[in-house]
Each structure stands twice: as C-alpha cells, then as structure tokens.
Chains A and B, each alone.
Chain A
C-alpha cells in the first residue's frame, strides 16, 4: 500500500534519512522504532509532504506521492496523528473534529460522522463543547486520533502516540489501535516505546541515525540479542 524506497531527507548539512526503504502492505500494522534523532519523525514528515525529500521514491496505492502537498495526501487517504498531538487548542473539541472531516466527502471513501466518532470516543462526547486546550493529555491524544480518523483514512500514521501519557492511557491507545487494525485500517506506528510497538505490530523497522539497521516480525526481533540489548535493556 505504502512503499518508501531509498528515501533521503536532509536539513542543510545534516542527513536525517539516508536511503531508507520501508514497505507497508494493506491491512498491516508496521512499526518504526529507534532512539531520538534516528529519523523517525523525518520519515513521517517526508511521507506527509511536510518536508521535501532530497531523493527517493514514495508510492501510495501505486501512485507516486513525493512532492504532493499535505492536503492532497489526506484526500488520498493518508492521515497523521502528529507528535505532541497538535490539537487546535483555542478551538472547541467539536471544531477540531469538524476540521478533521474537511476531506471526508472527497476521495470516494466512507468517512465516519461526528456522531459515530463520539460513539467510539465516549469521553469526548461529554467534552464536545469544551476548548480543546483545556483537555488532559490523554483526552487530547484521543482527540488527535479522532480528528485523524474523521477523514476516513486508509493509512493511519502515528508519531509517538504514547509520549508523555500515563501507562493506563497508553493501554487505551493501544487497545484503540487494535480495534482499528481489526476493522482493516492500515497502521504505520512510529514510537520510542520499542517493546509495546514490536509486540503490537506485524513487522517493525529499527532506525538508527537515518538508517534501517534491523527489521522483522515481533518473534524475529525479540529473538535478536542486539535488539533486546539496545531497546529493552535486557
């Protein structure tokens, strides 16, 4: 569904991604883990059109998408839950959700209504009229995911969704992702929480300083001493 080939991203002299290739098949949940500065966020930024790639090819549903503007990618079915949530704080929860539905009538996909979304996130229903910035961190993360789902995406990208959340809330996030996967949403999950990611995803790529250094299924990665030593402290 999503194919990233030899992707290069540079910021001035610094190379953030050096010929990274990643494949996400329809219906899969794919993880990308790695320490700070490994290039995880740059990968998502390049896929979503926020930063320009210096080289490489990215295709989505067999169409090249490198160089497209972010709004066009949403229209085609890619939706991002960004790092730090980036909800529109001064706007109401309702307005945040409505903005998420901007492209819902385009692209021929079936997008959920606000009401259906509130059924999925009952906590947000009570907060519907509240200013989004006044929500707790966990509630904001739920809102960010709900907002991303409003466009009815085929591929959901998540950048560090568990960052800064209480363990109980992290559980909720992963339960939600499990539901989405069962419903057929393809997921690309970028995380520092390596163990959770590897356990959740069908396959996981390990990035380090702009390179893919390991890749495999949860069994393959957990069996590798290298991986356990680096990421799990075992």
Chain B
C-alpha cells in the first residue's frame, strides 16, 4: 500500500468516527424533541435550555468526583423538565399546538434569563473528565475517547429507550398515546403519567447531552442551548416529526452530511458549512415534506 492510500484510509476512518459522534449528539437532541412532539404535538424549544441548565449545573459541581457530577446533573435536568411540564404545560392541556409552541418559546426565554441572572453573560469553564479528551492511537488513526464514549452512551440510551417503550407498562402507554392520545385516556391511562414520563425521559436525554457537550467544549454560555435544539428539531423534521426511529435516523444523517460537507467543501466555503447543510435539508423537504418516516398517526387518522 502506498503512503497516500494509508493516509486516506485513516482519514476515512477518522471522518466516520467524527460523523458517528456528531450524529449521536444530534440523535440525542432529536429524540428529546420527538418524544414530546409525538405525544403532545408540541415542539418544545425549551429543550435547548434544559441542556444549557445541565451545563450550568456542571459549572457549579465541576470539582466534584465524576460519578457525583453525572448523577447531580442528570437529576437536576430531569427535575427542571418535570417542573416545566407541571408549571407551564400542564395548565395549557388541550390548547392549540400554536399556543403550546409560543409557551415553549416563553419558557425558553424565561430559563435563559434566569441563567443570565445567576451567572451573567461571560462564558464559564467546566470540566467533566480530563481523561475523556485523550486519544487512543490505533495504527495511524487517533481516536478521541470522548467520541467513543458519546457513541456508546447514545447506543445504550437508544437500546434502553426501545426496551422501555416495548416492554414497560408505561412505555406501552406512551406508544399508544403517540398514536391516539384521547383514546389512550379513554381506556383509563392517566394523561399526567404519560406526559410526565415523556418529559422525564426528555430531561434525561437533555442531561446526557449537557454532559457530552461540556466534556467536548469545556465551557458554558447562556446561549448554548440554541444549536442543540435547532439541530434536534431539524433532525426530527428530516426523520419525520413524531417518529422516534425517524428522529434517530435524522440525527445520524445530519451528522454524516455535516461531516461530509466539512471534508468536501473547498476551504473558502467551509465557514458556510451549516448554510449548505440547511440548504440540503430544504431541498430534501421539497421532495419529501413528511420526512423519512411519516408518523403512523398522521397517516391513518381519519
């Protein structure tokens, strides 16, 4: 093998890992958005703020042992998600999706402002674990531990979520609610249980995302929730809003496309990578406006 072939081979492997890492993060963002949308027809734009607040918690507990940091962050974000549902969305049960959407914007702005009051506009440093930013050297490929951790954690969460939805009593209720929420209540399922669980899981996904993002960037800013929620929303639209498989697939496609553009675009166009990415999404939506998986409930409801 020539030197060039070895280099391009290792570059391909490197890019594949990058794409999977990015795709895993996008899939986590998208799942958090899709889970709530499937049941409530609510695009929760405050999901990004759940992630931001998780990072804020990490700023405060940055010197704690790793396990304690992780547990406290996850618990805090789940609590914030549950409280948001209880205080903001539960009183709005039954209102139009547009009203819910506006409420989620209001919640998003409210949470951002609260964070601003607490820490101010300056970015704050936070670390998860220094060892995550080291590399494994495999031949000529250096693999960051964080990328492997991100991919593995995401796969574990996906498997866990699938198991919960297919085997657990409440998981079955959630799948039923995603098909026909009113009918689910008419067989006796408590709406609060299903929606509360959805927000709890969504909060857990957001908390994991906070930890992975901070592990990578090491910083907290008040606006850091915007990019995750944007990419999560776009990924779930590409996948088909309301479909969980679609959200995961959309996340990985978006991660792959983003990485491909990063490599393929000429140097002077690289800064505009996301513009090309969103342009491609736009073209895709023209040809397949319902996304990859059109949720069953949208298709069969007469």
Chain A residues within CB distance 8 Å of chain B = 48, 50, 69-71, 74-75, 79-80, 82, 84, 86, 88-91, 95, 98-100, 102-103, 133, 147-148, 150-151
Contact = CB atoms under 8 A, between A and B. Distances in A.
Given A70-B186, A80-B186, A102-B173, A89 B296 contact: yes
B282 interface: no
B172 interface: yes
Interface of B: 169, 172-173, 175-176, 179-180, 182-191, 296, 300, 302
Contact of A86 (B169, B175, B183): B183
A70 to B, nearest CB: 4
Contacts of B180: 86, 88
Given A99-B187, A103-B188, A90 B175 contact: yes
B184 A99 contact: yes
Nearest to A49: B185
A69 B191 contact: yes
Please report whether the interface of chain B is mostly helix, strand, loop or mixed according to DSSP: helix
A24 to B, nearest CB: 18
A151 B183 contact: no
A71 B185 contact: yes
A91 B187 CA distance: 14
Contacts of A151: 187-188
B197 to A, nearest CB: 14
A50 B186 CA distance: 9
Contact of A91 (B176, B189, B300): B176
B261 to A, nearest CB: 35
18 contacts: A69-B185, A70-B182, A82-B183, A86-B183, A88-B176, A88-B183, A90-B179, A91-B175, A91-B176, A99-B172, A99-B176, A99-B189, A100-B188, A102-B173, A102-B188, A102-B189, A103-B188, A133-B300
A98 B188 CA distance: 11
A90 B183 CA distance: 14
A98 to B, nearest CB: 7
A150 B189 CA distance: 13
A74 B296 contact: no
A50 B296 contact: no
Contacts of B176: 88, 91, 95, 99
